[in-house]
A and B are shown apart, each in its own frame.
Chain A
Amino acid sequence: MADIIRKFQYHGHDALLLPAEREAFVTLQTWLSGIADELELPENTRKKLLIAADEIFTNIAAYGYPGSGGTAEVEVTFNITRQLLTMKFIDAGIAYNPLESPPPDLTKPLTERSIGGLGIFMVKKLMDTVAYKRENDRNILILEKHLLNREKQK
């Protein structure tokens, strides 16, 4: 039997299209919070999704389109059969695979630490799987979070 998948819409569109600017995160945050409410996600899961979205979107806004403006698309689907939530980020900025950025050195003293790579390190910890592909000159990052064993979560 095929999985039952629900695609979340944003004002009738299959994806939320945002200017690749840091400030636009507010719109993404509001949309994702609404989805979390609809799915009655545990608080802890809602926060993890928002942090992951913050990190990925901030990366696109900061590095995706150097010297020019651009957009980022966010798609959210929920596989009801598998209780799997998927967030997909698509941008047409410079080719960038965040999974290749080196992890932060958490053992170094505060003053010697460089903060690069911290965001993506957090995303990998917060989500169950993170996958990157480059297709048709677009970066596609797919984040997945399983919602099984809800009763075990906070």
Chain B
Amino acid sequence: MKITMNQETNKLTVSIEGSIDTVTAPELEKELAANWNGVTKLFLDFKAVDYISSAGLRVMMAAEQHMEAVGSMTIMNVNDDVKEVFEMTGFDELLNFE
């Protein structure tokens, strides 16, 4: 997985490339937590995400909970296969998409 961060004042855009799986999800979680201080708008760009497993969904849930308290989190550019997983698990109703 490759993670690219782009911060403009209180807005952080995180572009994720590859799979958000059992091995890479903890890395993503660590990177988010290390960079979201002072961030009120978090954008996760899923354009290059291959797939997401429950370990990744767990990170989305934790990130949403954190961001909900201080601002907002939006997931962008979700492909059909990833969307299918969000819908199958009901996460599509819990997260914000753009």
- Chain A residues near B65: list those with CB within 8 A: 110-111
**Interface presence of B53 (CB below 8 A):** yes
Query: Cβ of B19 and Cβ of A44 under 8 Å apart?
Result: no
**Interface presence of B58 (CB below 8 A):** yes
CA separation between A126 and B89, bound complex, in Å?
11
Query: Cβ of B61 and Cβ of A54 under 8 Å apart?
Result: no
Pick from B22, B51, B58, B64: contact of A57, CB under 8 Å: B22
Closest to A24 in B: B23
Query: Cβ of B61 and Cβ of A115 under 8 Å apart?
Result: yes
- Chain B residues near A25: list those with CB within 8 A: 21-23
Interface size on A, residues (CB 8 A): 29
Cβ proximity bits B61-97 to A, threshold 8 Å, 1 near / 0 not? 1001100000000000000110011001110001000
**Interface presence of B17 (CB below 8 A):** no
Interface residues on chain B, size class: 20 to 34
**Interface presence of A14 (CB below 8 A):** no
- Chain A residues near B53: list those with CB within 8 A: 50-51, 54-55, 58, 119, 122
Cβ proximity bits B27-71 to A, threshold 8 Å, 1 near / 0 not? 000000000000000000000001111110110010011000000
A113 smallest CB distance to B (angstroms): 8
Query: Cβ of A122 and Cβ of B80 under 8 Å apart?
Result: no
- Chain A residues near B57: list those with CB within 8 A: 115, 118
Query: Cβ of B81 and Cβ of A47 under 8 Å apart?
Result: yes
Closest to B54 in A: A119
Query: Cβ of A29 and Cβ of B19 under 8 Å apart?
Result: yes
If over half of A's interface residues share one DSSP class (helix, strand or loop), that class is named, otherwise mixed; here it is helix
Query: Cβ of B21 and Cβ of A29 under 8 Å apart?
Result: yes
Closest to A51 in B: B53
- Chain B residues near A106: list those with CB within 8 A: 89-90
- Chain A residues near B84: list those with CB within 8 A: 44
CA separation between A116 and B34, bound complex, in Å?
26
**Interface presence of A121 (CB below 8 A):** yes
Query: Cβ of B88 and Cβ of A50 under 8 Å apart?
Result: no
Task: List residues of A whose CB falls within 8 A of some B CB.
Answer: 22-23, 25-26, 29, 43-44, 47, 50-51, 54-55, 57-58, 61, 104, 106-107, 110-111, 113, 115, 118-119, 121-122, 125-126, 154
14 A-B pairs with C-beta separation under 8 A: A26-B23, A44-B81, A47-B51, A47-B81, A54-B22, A54-B55, A55-B53, A58-B53, A104-B89, A106-B89, A115-B58, A118-B58, A119-B53, A121-B89
